[in-house]
Amino acid sequence: MQIINLEGTEDTPKIILDQTNGIFEISGRSLPEDTAEFYKPVLEWLDTYSGAPKPKTTFTFKLEYFNTASSKLILDILSKLESIPGTTISWYFHEDDEDMEEAGTEFSELVEVPFEFKTY
């Protein structure tokens, strides 16, 4: 399966989806111009991955900021992860960033995937 490895920019997050090495991460800032188009390859990759996932998948979110449009796509990603057995979410937030902690808590209540909250 092809690896997605996008370097983050001022407006887009770093994304690594690497089935071979078990790395599934979105980090940085997410406010792309066309959010749906930006995340489309991620959603398609997850569709393919869900056909033959690893026994355990830990998907890491380490976002500093995301806009409203991105929150919809993050929820779409989390919804896809719901259908992959053995998936857990590691939701990182800066220790004094209550907004990001709250966002993770809200997402965790919307999907049936175990969340682990971690500070950095």
CA neighbor of 26 nearest in space, from 63, 78, 76: 63
Q: Which two tokens stand for residue 10?
A: 């001022």
SS3 90: strand
- Predicted local confidence at residue 89, as pLDDT: 98
The confidence score (pLDDT) of residue 118 equals 98
**Residue 92 DSSP SS3:** strand
| Structure confidence by residue, pLDDT tens digits, 29-62 | 999 999 999 999 999 999 999 999 999 999 999 9
Range of the domain at 44: 4-119
| Three-state DSSP state, 60 | strand
- The pLDDT, as a whole number, for residue 97 is 97
Name the token pair of 51. Answer: 């056909």
Overall number of domains in the chain:
1
User: Residue 87: its pLDDT value, please?
Assistant: 98
Which CATH number covers residue 84?
A: 3.30.750
Beta bridge partners of 16: 5, 25
pLDDT digits (tens, 9 = 90+) for 60-105: 999 999 999 999 999 999 999 999 999 999 999 999 999 999 999 9
Compute CA distances 101 → 38, 43, 83, 86, whole Å: 24, 24, 24, 23
